[in-house]
Amino acid sequence: MQGRVVIVGTGHAAAQLASSLRQQGWQGEILLVGEEPCAPYQRPPLSKDYLVGERTADNILIRPAAAYASHGVDLLTGRRVLSIDRATKMIALDDGQQLSYQKLALCTGARARPASIRGVGSPGVFYLRTLADVDGIRANISPDKSAVIIGGGYIGLEAAAALRGLGMAVTLLELQERVLSRVCAPEVSDFYSRVHREEGVDIRVGVEVLTIENDGGVKTVVCSDGSRFHADLIIIGVGIIPNVELAEACGLAVDDGIVVDELARTSDPDIVAAGDCTNHPNDLLGRRVRLESVPNAMEQAKTAAGTLCDRPVPYQVYPWFWSDQYDLKLQIAGLSEGYDQVVLRGGKDRQRGFVAWYLRGGRLLAADCINRPKEFMVARQLLARKLAVAPAMLADETIDPKNWLS
């Protein structure tokens, strides 16, 4: 633990990995190399607090830049890794510098999925993934302006909520027949559509965007059905894709992410990987999975650090996620893929909070908890302990959820 660790990436996984390496006894050099020109920052506030100006760039740093120096971690920001030579253990940077490593960690994260729409490169059209993206969006925000958001996933809905809170007119266009179609049941989609419409968002589903026209600063979104939407600002949020090109180019196993084992090891024993870019096994889920979440990035980074420090602890955590929109805090425990039954706890049509329990063959897979923190905490324990609860009990609001744990 005296050599140099180079961490490629400066996101949540990279920042946690550097910190955990020191905590677990790594005494050699630690270098963080990232393309963005700033210290690692939190991404969730980008579509919420930072977008509306409630937090500054300094406020969303994972830790102050000075903290890295105090822990002996060197930050090389604004640098891009061009290649990795596993035979010589050297990496090449875009400024011509060559760095040697004893151990390498790939925390390359993910990037915004590009949209197949003509005119995407026009002024006033933005993706929402980086600090620079949101700085561009903020420069185009004004209460007397209008925005079109392309994509009805969490990023699109969070951005819609933020812009409506600032007084902008917002239209949201979704290709599928409902918002959040990839990640939740129709009952949850219906709830969010209702709330956003009540808040003044014009939601259109089943709409394919073909072209973005720009005529003297006025932008028009043209759809396949002939509909046209004018906007001062356009935000595109159609998903993300993992950054696996470096790993693939140097011969590491890649399959919907960088393939790692339960100890975050890649197919090279001297290289670990963590975060959105990885595909890892999860015995609790009974399959391999690639997760796009901050909790996964941080917990997997801790495992990767332990592996590099010869303190191996397998990564086995049930996934969880969250989304904030208006006064709604959605907390998700587990993964709902493959469910055959949805049980509701609370009224989705009247209240601003309820729970959607997802089951398969009577076994709990996941829970979407909207303004229901107690049920969320219990759901995580139910999943981790693999406890069974009858569907009728999950729906019965007269029962304290904590009783299910006993």
User: Quick check: is 322 in a domain?
Assistant: no
**CATH number, position 368:** 3.30.390.30
Render each residue's pLDDT in the chain as its tens digit; 406 residues: 789 999 999 999 999 999 999 999 999 999 999 999 999 999 999 999 999 999 999 999 999 989 999 999 999 999 999 999 999 999 999 999 999 999 999 999 999 999 999 999 889 999 999 999 999 999 999 999 999 999 999 999 999 999 999 999 999 999 999 999 999 999 999 999 999 999 999 999 999 999 999 887 779 999 999 999 999 999 999 999 999 999 999 999 999 999 999 999 999 999 999 999 999 999 888 899 999 999 999 999 999 999 999 999 999 888 999 999 999 999 999 999 999 999 999 987 777 899 999 999 999 999 999 999 999 999 999 999 999 999 999 999 999 999 999 8
User: Quick check: is 118 in a domain?
Assistant: no
Domain boundary among 257, 273, 308: 308
Are 268 and 292 contained in the same domain?
A: yes
- Cα angle 263, 268, 271 (rounded to 5 degrees) comes to 65
Are 167 and 213 contained in the same domain?
A: yes
Tokens 């587990």, residue located: 334
Are 180 and 82 contained in the same domain?
A: no
For 180-198, give the secondary structure using H, E and C. Answer: CCCCCCHHHHHHHHHHHHH
Are 21 and 102 contained in the same domain?
A: yes
Are 286 and 338 contained in the same domain?
A: no
Structural domain count of the chain: 3
Are 119 and 125 a contacting pair, CB within 8 Å?
yes
Expressed as residue numbers, the domain containing 346 is 327-405
Are 229 and 247 contained in the same domain?
A: no
User: Quick check: is 321 in a domain?
Assistant: no
Are 11 and 99 contained in the same domain?
A: yes
Are 33 and 80 contained in the same domain?
A: yes
CA proximity to 275, closest of 76, 8, 4, 47: 8
User: Quick check: is 119 in a domain?
Assistant: no
Distance CA 110, CA 129 (A): 9
**CATH number, position 245:** 3.50.50.60
Terminal C-alpha separation, the chain:
44
Domain boundary among 181, 207, 236: 236
